[in-house]
């Protein structure tokens, strides 16, 4: 019993020492330069933020297994917000799986560099190419 009590006292003392010697002053409302952190963006620089990017809806198309695939891509600046695909002539249960699954994967990855849907390679490649075509049209319009 004395060993457990002794161990507990030593353990508590070590924890207290670790907490007391931790770096920083414990003030989480200041950054490393001791400047107040403005999480609500209400400080002196609140109106100096530039938000020149806005959501845009782009369309693109490419050839899939069963015919043309059309995509609608919503972007905010360089970020892909959402992707929707339509390919009415893609094989039900195979290509249609790619139409259903791949757009969300592309939006989550913010890239067309995602794995194809197994068994639906041509449809998957068509969706990715259609998204790339839509994104390319956006880049060309900025030039």
User: 2 pLDDT exceeds 80?
Assistant: no
Closest by CA to 132, choosing from 118, 112, 113, is 112
Alpha-carbon span 131 to 51, nearest angstrom? 24
Q: Is the pTM of this model over 0.75?
A: no
Tens-digit pLDDT profile for residues 24-60: 655 555 555 555 555 555 554 454 444 556 899 999 9
Alpha-carbon span 134 to 106, nearest angstrom? 13
Domains and their CATH numbers in the chain:
55-142 (3.90.1010.20)
Tens-digit pLDDT profile for residues 63-101: 999 999 999 999 998 899 999 999 999 999 999 999 999
């Amino acid at each position: 019993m004395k060993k457990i009590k002794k161990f507990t006292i030593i353990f508590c003392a070590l924890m207290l020492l670790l907490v007391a010697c931790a770096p920083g002053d414990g003030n989480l409302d200041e950054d490393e330069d001791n400047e107040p952190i403005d999480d609500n963006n209400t400080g002196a620089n609140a109106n100096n933020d530039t938000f020149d990017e806005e959501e845009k809806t782009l369309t693109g198309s490419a050839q899939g297994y069963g015919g043309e695939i059309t995509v609608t891509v919503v972007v905010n600046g360089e970020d892909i917000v959402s992707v929707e695909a339509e390919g009415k002539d893609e094989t039900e249960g195979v290509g249609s799986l790619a139409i259903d699954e791949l757009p969300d994967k592309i939006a989550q990855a913010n890239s067309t560099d995602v794995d194809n849907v197994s068994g639906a390679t041509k449809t998957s490649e068509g969706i990715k190419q259609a998204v790339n075509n839509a994104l390319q049209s956006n880049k060309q319009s900025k030039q």
